[in-house]
Amino acid sequence: MRCFAVIPAYQEAARLPGVLAAVVPHVDGVVVVDDGSHDDTALAAVHPQAYVLRHALNRGQGAALRTGTAAALELGADIIVHLDADGQHDPSYIHSVTDPIRAGHADVVLGSRYLGVEPEGIPPARRALHWGIRQFNRWILGIPATLTDPQSGFRAFSAAAARGLSFHQDRMAHASELLRNVTRSSWRWVEVPVRVTYSAESLRKGQKATDAVKIAWHLVLGAFHR
């Protein structure tokens, strides 16, 4: 089964070469979507096993993932893995999120930083933010309470699930929208532990409390009107 990684990237010229070098040994190909960066992200993404696409304008992580997922399917991917460009996801766990699909046990595998592999460098405020989003997902979106990580960007899909995947949020709200759609579908899904490592740079680019308000607002406006 051919496995392709899809990596959305915005202003990641410095870290992307290292991320690609770590990811490539675990997959058959990589699709990098430069989401309207103003630095040399597109140039940094050049690699013999990488296909580089570029949004002319910054559209958001959700939009970049849609673009990259569609491209991976066109390239013949049987399994598609989403992961971030900032290096916080440990590529050695790609097998953890793809093995249940390869074995025929799942259609969607969701990586969780809260299932026994302690996230490194995560501040208490970030844990609290994730807890709040998890409660919103549970009580407002109807996402099962058993799902432990409400904003994981490390996930895998079979080609069939990826083709049927429907999410419309362009920015960070896509993660909760995607979880709602997956858990309400007939797809077999499972969570598995993954390692996430935070750095000062990834924390600066990560979510804040104000972002949680925006995510909730966008989901309330969008998710229930489709």
pLDDT digits (tens, 9 = 90+) for 17-55: 999 999 999 999 999 999 999 999 999 999 999 999 999
pLDDT digits (tens, 9 = 90+) for 138-181: 998 899 999 999 999 999 999 999 999 888 888 888 999 999 99
CA gap 21, 3 in Å, rounded: 16
Do residues 191 and 150 touch, judged by C-beta distance below 8 A?
no
AA identity, residue 3:
C
pLDDT over 60 (residue 218): no
Tokens for 1, please give them: 């089964």
Burial code of 13-50, b = ≥16 C-beta within 10 A, e = fewer?
bebbeebbeebbebbbbbbbbbbbbeeebbebbebeeb
CA gap 47, 42 in Å, rounded: 11
Instruction: Write phi, then psi, for 160 (nearest 5 degrees).
Output: -60, -45
User: How many CA atoms, within 13 angstroms, populate the side-chain half-sphere of residue 4?
Assistant: 26
Torsion of Cα atoms, 119 then 124 then 126 then 129, to 10°: 130
What stretch of H or E contains 63? helix 61-74
pLDDT at 173: 85
Taking the CB of residue 144, how many other CB atoms lie within 10 A of it? Answer: 11
The structure's pTM equals 0.90
How far, rounded to the nearest angstrom, does the alpha carbon of residue 86 sit from its chain's CA centroid?
12
User: How many CA atoms, within 13 angstroms, populate the side-chain half-sphere of residue 129?
Assistant: 19
Range picked from 101-110, 168-177, 206-215 for highest mean pLDDT: 101-110
